[in-house]
Amino acid sequence: MERGFLERIGGDCHLPIGAYAYKEDDDYVLKALFGSEDGSKLATAAVKAKEPSEKMIDEAVEDIKKQLED
């Protein structure tokens, strides 16, 4: 999930970007962040699900993109 998020969001080494996936009780959690190159914007997302999936990655990317549009 971590690599999938990094790939899907389209970041590179010039941007603040990160993803961390872990199991918490009966859920899987994906926490992600993405920021602008100049550091003026930073968005975070946290997605929970019973099973790890591409949908979790999609939800995190969508949430972050929405925050950065505002």
Q: Compute the average pLDDT of residues 2-20.
A: 84
Stronger pLDDT, 14 or 66, i.e. the higher one: 66
Q: Compute the average pLDDT of residues 22-43.
A: 93
Distance CA 45, CA 37 (A): 18
What backbone phi and psi angles, to 5 degrees, belong to 21? -115, 140
Q: What is the pTM of this model?
A: 0.85
Cα angle value 48/26/28 (rounded, 5°)? 35
CATH label, 2-69, candidates 3.30.160.40, 3.40.50.720, 3.10.20.30, 3.30.70.1090: 3.30.160.40
Q: Is the pLDDT of residue 46 over 90?
A: yes
